[in-house]
């Protein structure tokens, strides 16, 4: 296993007052540009009460979900069936690992920095050498299919770490499947349609740790991107820092205790033939408090071919996206970088169609 050289937590803890140049974003990508703050302050992403999937509320919930998917691609859900204590435990084990384990202990789990999304502890997201670095350290867990899951590769401190991650992984996957089926039904598709295109769900859980940054105005905790797979479910502590791009303005996702943030990812945009778009988002850093989030990604297997659902394409509504082998999409994303949504734009059959529909 490669040795983890140094993440941003070490930098932050050594008390640097200026961030090293590799972390400085080009001016147009820095947070808090005038255009990104003013009018977006009062705007929030939708918060949808799922009423624990009680059928009595299903029509209203579906309607709200449909609106949130088409208007935003990102929203928060409450009463989703995952207990508050499990959410709290998941955040707590992550915080304990990052804040209480020594760098030597953490480095035992270092991921392979030359291979995209490899399991373990790391800091660099892209393989590309010249990319600006994020002010973030992370721990990535491979959790589904079960053949990829090996808790021995995860921290054993705190002692409940592995058990909590396993339980969280199982429950959040069930929730993701329910959301996928509701999304399918909302589009008039069979409830199993999206799950069917994806095939066996690949799930990764990434704990992101954003230490305080001495110059948050020059850096990003995580650069602007849309997620690669199908659907991401994210929990965060109360610090805040996640932002979603809406009508060219960055909107802060206010932390809501016990809520889960749902982020539609690129393969959902393809499968829904652009009816639901993936959300561009980023994380900003701050100078006073470390922040922790846990993103759970639900993706197709690498060999799956992803294309718009056949039922959404006919002579009047053409396919907007080319079919793609998911593994090729992933390699491009990691080698070229996200840069907004350029990877999915590359699959557009005719960008002009987007403006016509």
Ligand X SMILES: O=C(O)CCC(=O)C(=O)O
The whole-angstrom separation of Cα 281 and Cα 252 is 10
Q: Which stretch binds ligand X (CB under 6 A): 146-154, 234-242, 269-277, 329-337?
A: 234-242
Contacting residue, 134, 227, 237, 266, with ligand X by CB under 6 A: 227
How many other C-beta atoms lie within 10 A of the C-beta of residue 286? 18
C-beta closer to ligand X: residue 94 or 295: 295
> How many amino acids of this chain bind ligand X (CB under 6 A)?
11
The CB-side HSE value for 220 (13 A sphere, CA atoms) comes to 24
**Residue 140 binding Fe ion, by CB under 5 A:** no
Query: Per CB under 6 A, does 208 bind ligand X?
Result: yes
Nearer to Fe ion, 227 or 299 (CB): 227
The yes or no reply on residue 223 touching ligand X (CB under 6 A) is no
Query: Smaller CB distance to ligand X: residue 19 or 117?
Result: 117
Q: What would the two tokens of residue 237 be?
A: 């502590």
CB of 263 to ligand X, least distance (A): 7
Stretch of 111-119, 169-177, 226-234, 323-331 lying at the interface with Fe ion (CB under 5 A): 226-234
The answer to whether residue 227 forms part of the interface with Fe ion (CB under 5 A) is yes
Binding to ligand X by residue 203, rule CB under 6 A? no
Q: Which of 7, 122, 295, 337 binds ligand X (CB under 6 A)?
A: 295
272 binds, among ligand X, Fe ion, none (CB under 5 to 8 A by kind): none
Work out what residue 236 binds among Fe ion, ligand X, none; the CB cut-off runs from 5 to 8 Å by kind.
Answer: ligand X
Q: Which residues bind ligand X (CB under 6 A)?
A: 206, 208, 222, 227, 234, 236, 242, 281, 283, 293, 295
Q: Which residues bind Fe ion (CB under 5 A)?
A: 227
């Amino acid at each position: 296993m490669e040795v983890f050289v140094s993440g941003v937590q070490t930098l932050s803890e050594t008390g640097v007052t200026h961030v090293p140049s590799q972390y400085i974003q080009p001016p147009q990508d820095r947070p808090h540009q005038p255009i990104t703050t003013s009018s977006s302050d009062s705007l929030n992403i939708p918060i949808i009460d799922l009423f624990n999937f009680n059928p009595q509320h299903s029509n209203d919930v579906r309607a709200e979900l449909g609106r949130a998917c088409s208007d935003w691609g990102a929203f928060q859900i409450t009463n989703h069936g995952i207990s508050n204590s499990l959410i709290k435990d998941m955040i707590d084990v992550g915080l304990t690992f990052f804040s209480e384990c020594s760098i030597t202990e953490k480095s035992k789990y270092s991921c392979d920095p030359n291979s995209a999304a490899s399991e373990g502890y790391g800091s660099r997201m892209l393989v590309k050498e010249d990319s600006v670095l994020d002010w973030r350290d992370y721990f990535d867990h491979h959790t589904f299919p079960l053949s990829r899951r090996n808790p021995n590769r995860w921290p054993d401190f705190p002692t409940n770490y592995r058990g909590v991650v396993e339980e969280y992984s199982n429950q959040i996957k069930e929730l993701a499947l329910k959301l996928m089926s509701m999304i399918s039904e909302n589009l008039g598709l069979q409830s199993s349609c999206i799950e069917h295109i994806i095939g066996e769900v690949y799930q990764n859980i990434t704990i992101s740790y954003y230490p305080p940054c001495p110059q948050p105005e020059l850096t990003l905790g995580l650069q602007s991107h849309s997620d690669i797979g199908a659907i991401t479910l994210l929990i965060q502590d109360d610090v805040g820092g996640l932002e979603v791009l809406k009508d060219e303005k960055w909107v802060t996702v206010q932390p809501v205790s016990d809520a889960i943030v749902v982020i539609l990812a690129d393969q959902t945009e393809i499968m829904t033939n652009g009816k639901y778009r993936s959300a561009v988002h980023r994380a900003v850093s701050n100078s006073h408090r470390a922040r922790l989030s846990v993103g759970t990604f639900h993706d197709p297997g690498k060999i799956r071919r992803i294309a718009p659902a056949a039922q959404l394409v006919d002579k009047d509504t053409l396919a907007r996206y080319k079919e793609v082998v998911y593994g090729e999409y992933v390699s491009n994303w990691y080698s070229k970088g996200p840069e907004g949504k350029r990877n999915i734009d590359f699959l557009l059959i005719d960008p002009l169609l987007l403006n016509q529909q």
